[in-house]
Amino acid sequence: MDFLDPKKKKQQKIKLAIGHTLMVLVVAFGTFILVLLAYGFDLNRKSGEIIQNGLVYIDSAPDNATLKINGQEHSSKTNTRVSLPEGKYTVEISKESYRTWKRSFSLDGGVVERFTYPALYLSDLKPQELQTFDNSVTFSTESPDRRWIVLGQKNSISQFTVYDLRTRQNELPTNEVINLPTNLLTAADGDHLIKLVEWSTDNQNVLVSHTWTGGSEFAVINIDNPAKSFNVNQTIGQNPSETYLFDKKVDQLYIYDAPSKLLQRINIKTKQTTEISRNIISFKPHGEDKLLLAVGSADPKKVDIILKEKDKNYKIREIETSAKIPLDIAKVGDAWYLVIGASSEKKTYIYKNPIDFIGGNNDPEKVALLALGSKGPIDQVAFSQNVRFVMSQSGQHFNVYDIETKRRYSYDMKQPFDAGSKIVWMDGHRLTTHSEGKVLVFDYDGTNPQSLVSGDVSLLTMYDRDYTELYNISPSINTPGKIGFFSTQLRLEEDK
């Protein structure tokens, strides 16, 4: 009976202890291996060296496209994920009938890279003329939800054409002509020009400016019910230099008087005005309680940048004065980001949650998230539509900051921008403008520039909800000498 023999009993305990120890070592080693694998570590079968992989997610629109990595075709189509050793790579995405998308990048071991934004455009684009106009189209705009397109002809101040991209007839968007109330806009001799100021988030009301020889005014046009449209100047009894919607709604407005540099808020119903600040040079509102202000200081060569939150003013920094000080503000997750274009300094300052530092021991001027140097005065600053990227533009030169990855990009576009053409964010990852008379689209980092179709450089290019169709104004192909409104399919029907 071994369990009664002390010697054998001791041997049994030793065996159990050794077994338990070996089990612990096996589990620990297995866990260690799994952790290494989770962090991308692997064994190079050729050299026998330990390497660390990174993971790359690659999507495209349309999907099911051919994927090449460093010139070698991958076994999977997009959308897919690929594990690669750390190193430098070039990714190519291609599909029959489409233009190729290409991007070079460096991959670190244990890092996840995501290319979920590549867009492929048809190689052979065929614009279709939806409507022919006798006169030039000088006003075109699209609602924030990309459902409505509003077109206005030269010197027409009472009639507009509205297209509904979601309602189709014979696979084409329907349209109707809306007539504005009599005397909504001032009828005067000479040329008239209507420009977009901004849309309301209700996708029905649009604030516009109307200028003519010797005068100017603002109006809110309701495309769903034109009778609800109103002339801002007549309604408030003032002639502001600039007007913006308060919180993107039409019941209250910001009104700015350039000669006095006075910024106010006015309630459209009660006509009650609230003074916001004086000596304003430029401003950018956000929501109900935030305003980013550039305010003249006691030193005529300096400007104070102020963040106004409700009734409190926070001085962010002081910059050199200039005729143009572009500003922007946005909320990204739980954080607030401020962007300040200091044209005279040729710098763009980006702040994250600056109020957290104000009032403490930190100098707010020294807590900028980063400063982006430029080659010239800053023309504009703007967040992408998904508020992931911050863009600062100076002529052909761009600085872009990626809030998600904390990377920055600095580049010059080789394609010359047409005079009078605006550079705007097309979506969350691409910018669009005009070059040599054609619509130009390029990625946030300046790569993959694509020249699409001819278009009026003074008007913005518009897209449907899924960016599968492009809409713009260009000379008529049906009737020479006239103007056409065109739709261009960017993808094949089976890829939508």
- How confident is the model over 220-267, as pLDDT tens digits? 999 999 999 999 999 999 999 999 999 999 999 999 999 999 999 999
Residue 233 three-state SS: helix
Q: In terms of DSSP bridges, do strands 462-463 and 450-454 run parallel, antiparallel, or are they unpaired?
A: unpaired
Q: How far apart are CA 140 and CA 146, in angstroms?
A: 13
Helix, strand, coil percentages (3-state) for the chain, rounded to 5, are: 10, 50, 40
Per-residue pLDDT tens digits for 120-159: 999 999 999 999 999 999 999 999 999 999 999 999 999 9
Give me the pLDDT at residue 109, please.
87
pTM (whole model) above 0.85: yes
Structural domain 42-115, CATH architecture: Sandwich (2.60)
User: In Å, how far from its chain's centre is CA 86?
Assistant: 31
Q: How far apart are CA 110 and CA 90, in angstroms?
A: 19
Q: Give the dihedral of Cα atoms 455, 457, 458, 460; nearest 10 deg.
A: 60
Weakly modelled stretches of the chain, pLDDT under 70:
1-12, 15-17, 20, 24-51, 359-367
Residue 262 three-state SS: strand
Cβ–Cβ < 8 Å for 210, 191: no
Q: Give the dihedral of Cα atoms 467, 472, 476, 481; nearest 10 deg.
A: -170
Q: List Cβ neighbours of 414 (8 Å cut-off, separation of 6 or more).
A: 396, 449
Q: What are phi and psi of 494, to 5 degrees?
A: -75, -10
Q: Where are the domains of the chain?
A: 2-38, 42-115
Residue 116 three-state SS: coil
Give me the pLDDT at residue 426, please.
98
Give me the pLDDT at residue 444, please.
99
Q: How far apart are CA 486 and CA 454, in angstroms?
A: 10
Quick count: other Cβ atoms within 10 Å of Cβ 422? Answer: 14
Q: Token match 């910001």: residue? A: 254
Give me the pLDDT at residue 177, please.
98
Nearest to 378 by CA among 423, 331, 444: 423
Dihedral sign for Cα atoms in the order 362, 364, 368, 372: negative
Q: List Cβ neighbours of 179 (8 Å cut-off, separation of 6 or more).
A: 158, 159, 226
Return the ∠ at Cα 449 (arms to 446 and 453), rounded to 5°. Answer: 145
